[in-house]
Amino acid sequence: MQGWRSFSRGMLLVAAGLGLTAVSGCETNPYTGRSQLLMTSVSQEMQMGTQAYAQVKNDPKLRQSQDPREIEPVKRVAARIIEAAKRSKYAEMAQQFQWEVIVIKDDKTMNAFALPGGKIAVYTGIFPVARTDAGLAAVMGHEVVHALARHGAERMSQGQLTNAVLQVAEAAAGVSGGGGMLSQAAMAALGAGAQVGVLLPFSRKHESEADYIGILLAADAGYDPRESVSLWERMGQMSKGGGPAEFLSTHPSHETRIDQLKQWMPEAMGLYQSKQAVPAAALPSLH
């Protein structure tokens, strides 16, 4: 954590030198205590989320489901996750969001997302992996946390500041050492180093953070958090042999995810057992 704070201060100084006055400084994640560097306001993020959501809904290549058998379970789970978010440490943020949920009819896409402002989309392709309301709650809890924890804005801020650092490094190389501007190959190496060393690992932290807080939201909503482990076991079976090594990936490996979820499970189960459990209704079969 201390290393990240030092890096953040250095990035802020570089940003100031380059005139990036939109930097709002560091905030702290209320669940993990992790420092977050953010360059946008919540209102700006919500506006961007609304615009992106409108683009998704108006995309002629995407078709919203009109089938109540697909829509009703998604809205049912979303409503409980949203209420849990409004009771969480993100309550103030959750109250500001203008929540909206759609189901995208795409049986081949195992995905869901939540944008700043509470704009949620679930692809029908996630149903066979989630299987039940509890599995879907694990997915939706995870995605909602990305929005509440401002992970998207954090990634944008990091990208902007990393580019600023590279510009400063290139300028410094151009005025010292008599070697002229850095070669394209050297700049590419420096950029790759920054990508692997900073941006990708930080994205993995986002994913792990969303897994952790997401199962707490699911548990508080009355869904068995142990379904998150089963979900990722099934996901791993469906994607065996695919994807890059964890070192070069924005997501933790399935094995890492499962191990972490098991470590967090006692806390989530304690919360779940204090709530009234929700029956794990089966999700609809694809057709």
| Rounded-to-10 torsion of CA 41, 42, 47, 53 | 130
Element (H, E) at 84: helix 68-87
Q: What are phi and psi of 173, to 5 degrees?
A: -65, -30
Q: What are phi and psi of 177, to 5 degrees?
A: 80, -10
The CA distance from 95 to 91, in Å, is: 6
> How high is the pLDDT of residue 95?
97
Residue 269, token pair as written in the block: 């189960």
| Rounded-to-10 torsion of CA 90, 96, 101, 104 | -80
> How high is the pLDDT of residue 8?
42
Q: DSSP states of 192-261 as a string?
A: HHHIIIIIHHHHHHHHHHHHHHHHHHHHHTT--TTHHHHHHHHHHHHTTT-S--GGG-SS--HHHHHHHH
> How high is the pLDDT of residue 11?
41
> How high is the pLDDT of residue 236?
86
- The pLDDT profile of the chain, 287 residues, written as one tens digit per residue, is 444 344 344 444 444 444 444 445 678 999 999 999 888 899 999 999 999 999 999 999 999 999 999 999 999 999 999 999 999 999 999 999 999 999 999 999 999 999 999 999 999 999 999 999 999 999 999 999 999 999 988 888 877 777 766 676 667 666 544 444 445 554 455 455 566 666 666 688 999 999 999 999 999 999 999 999 999 999 888 877 566 666 567 788 889 999 999 999 999 999 999 999 998 899 998 86
Q: Which residues are catalytic?
A: 143
> How high is the pLDDT of residue 242?
60
> How high is the pLDDT of residue 193?
59
Grouping H, G, I as helix, E, B as strand and the rest as coil, residue 184 is helix
Name every residue whose Cβ is closer than 8 Å to that of residue 161 and which is 6 or more positions away in sequence. 11, 14, 15, 20, 37, 39
> How high is the pLDDT of residue 180?
45
Q: Answer for the pair 29, 36: CB distance below 8 angstroms, yes or no.
A: yes
